A and B are shown apart, each in its own frame.
Chain A
């Protein structure tokens, strides 16, 4: 779980001297002090936003996930004893991933971001962009591609999307995904196989 525990996205924790550990801040926040919780927020908001961007392309959605994750974390501070890999970041990442999963399921129920939303022109554009993905440094183009890719991947089932993202983007192992999602390793393996199959089927339609 190396990647998920690192505060990512270039938002390194601000240098403080002497730096108070996360566990100490958690203990202070649990006592009802607001300042330590705001410090925890400052340190880890980049990590939560980066994780949320793995699943959602719109900034409003990312901010919503950030809010939800920190609120859940605040009310669950009593359950955190530093035992989960002895890292607050890993514990928070787990909450953020589950918040994303809940949001994906809610979106699916509401029928949002159907593949029907992707017009033929958009599909052609995305296909073209995929060819020279690494070579292009166009920020606007990348944003459009991400939006379209998000629309396309929203067609997948939330379970499949979750497993594929954690496996391929976060590069977590089966055991780590099982730990994050609270599933058995056998279930993760089965779901990853099904997710891969589902993605191929989706792409066959798309191509």
Chain B
């Protein structure tokens, strides 16, 4: 019974001690007042605010000067973009109108022009070879005889 209750009691003690520890961190009014009324505190804040404002302004001006410098390149980039878009729109239309757009020709194209056969012709020839093999066997037997 005692053993069962022991961890609970221990936790209570530890919690109490923890609370006291946290309370020990409380500063007195005098200490808070001393820290808050530090004579140069606001001056330091003002200096840092000015520095930060300057940094932000410089950052913004750097960005603006970059935009101004690249301003000349903007028309060239715009022309390039228009050209690229035009090419994109033009290309699919020219491909669909070309004579080599039938499915059979497309297969020949997909073979990369390396072989003068379509994929169907290759498959048919392979099947034919396999289909011919049993017919050849009797002839081969006759020759063997």
Q: Which residues of A contact B (CB under 8 A)?
A: 8-11, 34, 38, 41, 45-46, 48-50, 52-55, 57, 59, 62-63, 66-67, 70-71, 74-75, 126, 129-130, 133, 139, 142-143, 145-146, 149-150, 152-153, 164-165, 168-169, 196, 199-200, 203-204, 207
Contacts and interface: CB of A to CB of B under 8 A. Distances in A.
Contacts of B48: 67, 71
A168 B11 CA distance: 16
Given A133-B23, A133-B24, A168-B22, A49 B45 contact: no
Contacts of A200: 11, 14-15, 18
A12 B56 CA distance: 35
20 contacts: A9-B36, A34-B46, A38-B42, A46-B36, A48-B36, A49-B32, A49-B36, A50-B27, A66-B35, A66-B36, A67-B45, A67-B48, A129-B24, A130-B17, A139-B28, A153-B25, A168-B22, A199-B18, A200-B14, A200-B15
B21 interface: yes
A149 B21 contact: yes
Given A74-B49, A146-B24, A9 B29 contact: yes
Given A8-B32, A45-B41, A142-B28, 18 more contacts: A9-B33, A46-B33, A49-B32, A50-B32, A55-B25, A59-B34, A70-B45, A75-B49, A75-B52, A129-B24, A130-B21, A133-B23, A149-B21, A153-B21, A168-B19, A169-B23, A199-B14, A203-B21
- B-side interface mostly: helix
B11 to A, nearest CB: 6
Contact of A130 (B24, B34, B49): B24
B17 A45 contact: no
Contacts of A52: 35
Nearest to A207: B17
A148 B118 CA distance: 87
